[in-house]
Structure 1
Amino acid sequence: MGPAHAACALLSLAPLLVLGVPPIWTQPEQVHLSYPGESGSMVVTWTTFNKTESYVEYSLMGGRLFEMTAKGEASLFVDSGKEKRKMFIHRVILTGLKPAATYVYHCGSAEGWSDIFFFTALNNSTSFSPRFALYGDLGNENPQSLARLQKETQQGMYDVILHIGDFAYDMHEDNARIGDEFMRQIQSIAAYVPYMTCPGNHEATYNFSNYRNRFSMPGNTESLWYSWNLGSAHIISLSTEVYFYLEFGLELLFKQYEWLMKDLEEANKPENRAVRPWIITMGHRPMYCSDDDQDDCTTFDSYVRRGRNDTKPSAPGLEDLFYLYGVDVELWAHEHTYERLWPVYGDKVSSSPHSCIYSLCSGSVTEMCVFLFKVFNGSKEQPYLNPKAPVHIITGSAGCRERTDRFNPNPKEWSAFRSTDYGYTRMQVVNATHLYLEQVSDDQYGKVIDSIWVVKEKHGYSSWF
């Protein structure tokens, strides 16, 4: 064979030779922040597909670029799909951050660096008025609210994002490539503000392994449940899924319940409740809902609310526990709609004044009707002024491939406002007595379609009376 023929033969084999060499993936991607619960700190998490060192270089905005360096560790995550894909999850904790100061950072190693991002360190003052965007059920396909959230986050409208379960639809699919793509999608939000999470039912495959490995929440429960403080609020994230996936261990249900009880006891100590009067919970599956989808809260008393009697021992629900410890606001998702409830406890709330008068009231019974309304709703003119039961918000319409749900045309009396528009919720804990909530419709180009002020002059169990 002559030189020309030999060269041609080698060239014809070139594609095979290239395909036989595995790519080198040392470039950081899927960058996201979380708050570890310690004042002056932030966790930076990212992914590479080859093992590298874990560094964050950062500096104060306007200062000399990357004058500070923090080192962390990488952990190997092997997806349980057929390909057993490997990825390295890097975590670096930044400490000593100045409250409310803005920092510029990138992450990676000498083998590759991320883009440059920025974040504002959380203010540790109890007079801080944090602003949140909150939603659940955001998917890789049809993530309708994502673009608006990306822009608003980068404009500085939010201090924290709360993602209340169900990510990507689903992170494990295509050997976890859907999880990778989703984490790349939310990088334009989550690399700029802490992205705080709780698990939903769509994370359950392989015992929630994609969720547990990809996120970095406070505590030592692999992000399943935890709590943290911000401004005048104590925020609790929990797993409603421990009530449904008993094959992963009934003991998880009881461990979480015991942890919740201890956490709420601590939060209710007079010295703690005085400085963090608001207690806010977030969990995926709601205690109440009026969607017409034959799900847990529409077909029978919710496991999350009432517990389970088909386990040994019986599993306690959460409604009584949260009522006993004076939880103020409960945030949920799972239903692909938005629903605001009147203050409700025990599946009961008073009827509206007109229906009460029409159906029940005459003579002394009229006074009883007004009394019942005040028991749960504060007052008939201002139902969220000193409410006598927790306020529930369901916000699961951020956008996913399953589209939005339909509502039952005849909801129970605790349903105050409902929308099937795609969108998300904003919340601001203004001070010790005032909390503001509003719903944004992405279908209506960012219009605020619902809003309330929750005003509480007193917090805790005694505030119900």
Structure 2
Amino acid sequence: MIAVIIWYHFLDVCCYFNLVFLLCRVKMEPAHAACALLSLAPLLVLGVPPIWTQPEQVHLSYPGVPGSMVVTWTTFNKTESKVEYSLLGGRLFDMTAKGDATLFVDSGEEKRKMYIHRVKLTGLKPATAYVYHCGSDEGWSDVFFFTALNDSTSFSPRFALYGDLGNENPQSLARLQKETQLGMYDVVLHIGTTDHDIYHSNIDNARIGDEFMRQIQSIAAYLPYMTCPGNHEATYNFSNYRNRFSMPGQTESLWYSWNLGSAHIISFSTEVYFYLEYGLELLFKQYEWLKKDLEEANKPENRAVRPWIITMGHRPMYCSDDDQDDCTKFDSYVRLGRKDTKPLAPGLEDLFYRYGVDLELWAHEHTYERLWPVYGDKVYNGSKEQPYVNPKAPVHIVTGSAGCREKTDRFNPNPKEWSAFRSTDYGYTRMQVVNTTHVYLEQVSDDQYGKVIDSIWVVKEKHGFSAWF
């Protein structure tokens, strides 16, 4: 009887009743009946194929070009790639855009095939709401909506920031879903590890990855969902991450930059310092790219209109978690580089300091930690009374406690002087780039029912390297 109940959930209702009728006709004993059901189950499951042409895992990203948005989704058979869209409140689906589908074969034992569809919408009116669905005449997604990003440099964008959100124990997800529906954010920055074991294809052939992408659709189909790679994406040379996401530039989403409001935002990979088996050249290629990007952002005409430079990378330069990891067991490779490579791998702290990076966002540690302005392991507050007003070094925020199967981490009971505020609550960070001089950040505790447990204003009347003096 138990076996019959279990298989009922997997089989077509008609097949179920036909089997019951057949077993009753031959008057099998209950145990034999259950065995018969189990033996026939594989055939019956194969007899009810899924809809391989149905779009799923829909998510948006901003390609860095004003008036545009990229829609990405997955099917398991090849189909057309179309997005039908319209102004919210207008004639439904009166515009159509077409794109391409790329075959991605996971490297696990099953060599699972999936088609990643990308369609770029262009000519969007800034700050205007649109409704859309994606797919083809062989299957359409649900109907979603989004607001095209405002391309004005006076725009004050609102961000949700977090890393290490898991498919298992995603504690902050429900609150983020609701706040997305309430229109509280313009963009999400997912700062690495887009799930724990999401792409461990040797275990699940990337099926957990599918589940995670379905899970975040309730946020990512409505807001640009901007990412950077983390350590849990590393399986098979980050192949699932590189194929599933659609970030700006031509680097398979590993590193890129874009502009919004008065901010220039840089996303990069900290993992090039740890997975040297995938090629040391990636580390040096990224470093040179970062240097050129920062040089361009610091040209007087560019820094004048977008004075804030904000970076996001997964593993922090500084942290005080007691987990025997990057920041506690050894000095951060990301900060100081590596001395065991030929040539020596350069770190990023001096580079970011030299080009006047204002704010550095991190995750990886499953906690929240706000630092005093810090450089070279020393505190450089703006003043004793107002440490974040005209700070003399970059401000670091670690926000990796959104919720995952590895739970939250513990803190070292004796942190260094640069540690300003710490919390082991599950939660996430909100940020608003208000104008050219003010950025506001606050930490939300999901454990405390959405209470804001920490907040700061970073105020800078001057940006760039000269601001440190």
User: Which aligned pairs between 1:48-67 and structure 2 lie closer than 5 A?
Assistant: 48-67=75-94
Q: Which residue of 1 aligns with 2:199?
A: 172
Counterpart secondary structure, 1:323: helix
Structure 2: distance between partners of 1:147 and 1:206: 31
Structure 1: distance between partners of 2:417 and 2:258: 33
Task: Measure how far apart 1:297 and its partner are.
Answer: 1.1
1:333 to 345, 359, 363: 363
Q: Which residue of 1 aligns with 2:72?
A: 45
Counterpart secondary structure, 2:416: coil
Partners of 1:307 and 1:316 within 8 A in 2? yes
2:61 to 21, 26, 34: 34
Q: Does 1:73 align with 2:100?
A: yes
Q: Which residue of 2 aligns with 1:345?
A: 375
Aligned residue pairs: how many? 431
Q: Which residue of 2 aligns with 1:372?
A: none
* Alpha-carbon distance change, 62 to 321 in structure 1, aligned in 2, over 3 angstroms: same
Q: Does 1:84 align with 2:114?
A: no
Tell me which amino acid in the other structure corresponds to 2:164: D
Q: Which residue of 2 aligns with 1:226?
A: 256
Tell me which amino acid in the other structure corresponds to 1:340: R
Partners of 2:199 and 2:232 within 8 A in 1? no
Tell me which amino acid in the other structure corresponds to 1:92: V
TM (norm. structure 1) is 0.91
Q: Which residue of 1 aligns with 2:174?
A: 147
Q: Does 1:301 align with 2:331?
A: yes
Q: Which residue of 2 aligns with 1:212?
A: 242
2:403 to 399, 404, 411: 399
Task: Measure how far apart 1:147 and its partner are.
Answer: 0.3
Structure 2: distance between partners of 1:226 and 1:299: 30
Q: Which deviates more, 98-107 or 169-178?
A: 169-178
Counterpart secondary structure, 1:217: coil
Deviation string, structure 1 residues 119-173 (Cα, Å, up to 9, x no partner): 0000000000000000000000000000000000111000000000012212224
Partners of 2:98 and 2:119 within 8 A in 1? yes
Structure 1: distance between partners of 2:138 and 2:47: 22
Structure 2: distance between partners of 1:155 and 1:32: 18
User: Which aligned pairs between 1:288-437 and structure 2 lie closer than 5 A?
Assistant: 288-349=318-379, 376-437=380-441
Structure 2: distance between partners of 1:200 and 1:19: 37
Task: Measure how far apart 1:20 and its partner are.
Answer: 5.7
Counterpart secondary structure, 1:210: helix
Q: Which residue of 1 aligns with 2:163?
A: 136
Q: Does 1:241 align with 2:245?
A: no
Partners of 1:422 and 1:441 within 8 A in 2? yes
Partners of 2:401 and 2:426 within 8 A in 1? yes
Structure 2: distance between partners of 1:300 and 1:79: 34
Q: Does 1:464 align with 2:463?
A: no
Q: Which residue of 2 aligns with 1:117?
A: 144
* Alpha-carbon distance change, 460 to 70 in structure 1, aligned in 2, over 3 angstroms: same
* Alpha-carbon distance change, 14 to 321 in structure 1, aligned in 2, over 3 angstroms: closer
Deviation string, structure 1 residues 391-442 (Cα, Å, up to 9, x no partner): 0000000000000000000000000000000000000000000000000000
Deviation string, structure 1 residues 442-465 (Cα, Å, up to 9, x no partner): 000000000000000000000000
Counterpart secondary structure, 1:322: helix
Structure 2: distance between partners of 1:101 and 1:21: 43
* Alpha-carbon distance change, 146 to 17 in structure 1, aligned in 2, over 3 angstroms: closer
Structure 1: distance between partners of 2:45 and 2:359: 57
* Alpha-carbon distance change, 171 to 15 in structure 1, aligned in 2, over 3 angstroms: closer
Tell me which amino acid in the other structure corresponds to 2:83: V
Structure 2: distance between partners of 1:40 and 1:56: 16
Partners of 1:79 and 1:172 within 8 A in 2? no
* Alpha-carbon distance change, 420 to 18 in structure 1, aligned in 2, over 3 angstroms: closer
Counterpart secondary structure, 1:450: strand
Counterpart secondary structure, 2:205: helix
Partners of 2:191 and 2:312 within 8 A in 1? yes
Counterpart secondary structure, 1:39: coil
2:228 to 176, 182, 198: 198
Tell me which amino acid in the other structure corresponds to 2:313: G
Percent sequence identity over aligned pairs: 89
Tell me which amino acid in the other structure corresponds to 1:69: T
Tell me which amino acid in the other structure corresponds to 2:378: K
Structure 1: distance between partners of 2:419 and 2:45: 61
Task: Measure how far apart 1:215 and its partner are.
Answer: 0.3
Structure 2: distance between partners of 1:28 and 1:241: 31
1:101 to 111, 124, 128: 128
Task: Measure how far apart 1:22 and its partner are.
Answer: 5.0
Structure 2: distance between partners of 1:38 and 1:332: 25
Q: Which residue of 2 aligns with 1:358?
A: none
User: Cα RMSD (Å) of the superposition?
Assistant: 1.5
Structure 1: distance between partners of 2:72 and 2:149: 17
Task: Measure how far apart 1:24 and its partner are.
Answer: 3.6
Structure 1: distance between partners of 2:45 and 2:180: 41
Counterpart secondary structure, 2:248: coil
Counterpart secondary structure, 2:206: helix
Q: Which deviates more, 163-172 or 83-92?
A: 163-172
Unpaired runs of at least 5, structure 2: 1-21, 24-35
Structure 1: distance between partners of 2:144 and 2:189: 20
Counterpart secondary structure, 2:134: strand
Structure 1: distance between partners of 2:50 and 2:92: 31
